[in-house]
Amino acid sequence: MPNIKVFTGSSHPDIAKKIVSRLGLDLGRATTKQFSNRETSVEIHESVRGEDVYIVQSGCGDINDNLMELLIMINACKIAAASRVTAVIPSFPYSRQDKKEKSRAPITAKLLANLISVSGADHVITIDLHSSQIQGFFNIPVDNLYAEPAITKWIQDNISE
């Protein structure tokens, strides 16, 4: 397997742990913390120079805090000379805001795509986007995976008639 490192934010570290377990890898060492004013700080504790880095961070829970963790982690890895950074975002935040509902309303999904790109991500992997048009908001590759085939297979394999 090429030089791959997988890191996780605090949104759902169990997902990242399961991914690295299946890949036969160790989870990358990083810490995230919040200062008393709720400002987010991230520290990567190992070299990512020349590595293909995957950062697993879901858009659930404290969406804004988790989003800042993701953006800062992407940027930290990019500044530390990672060869490629992929954001793995199982639940893409702000995906319901993919079009203007009223005049002067933002298209927040597009803003998020811009933020992820500008922070340094080279690729995004997500699951079941609210709208496939969100993929077009990015100027980097986006893989929108679908959960239905895996769920259907599990039901067929595990539920007897």
The whole-number pLDDT of residue 160 equals 64
Mean pLDDT of 22-47: 95
Q: Are strands 84-89 and 30-34 parallel, antiparallel or unpaired?
A: unpaired
Confirm if 1 and 54 have CB atoms less than 8 A apart: no
* Predicted pLDDT at 139: 93
User: What does the pLDDT read at residue 161?
Assistant: 62
Cα 145–chain centre separation: 13
pLDDT digits (tens, 9 = 90+) for 66-91: 999 999 999 999 999 999 999 999 98
Whether the pLDDT of residue 1 is over 70: the answer is: no
Per CATH, the number for 4-157 is 3.40.50.2020
- pLDDT (average), residues 13-21: 94
Q: What is the spatial distance between Cα 85 and Cα 74, in angstroms, rounded to a whole number?
A: 7
Integer CA distances (angstroms), 108 to 35, 64, 76, 120, 138, in order? 26, 13, 24, 19, 13
Domain locations in the chain?
Answer: 4-157
- Mean pLDDT of the chain, nearest integer: 90
Whether the per-residue pLDDT at 118 is higher than 70: the answer is yes
Instruction: Give the percent of the chain with pLDDT over 70.
Output: 98
Most confident of 54-63, 113-122, 137-146: 113-122
Instruction: Tell me the mean pLDDT in the region 30-54.
Output: 95
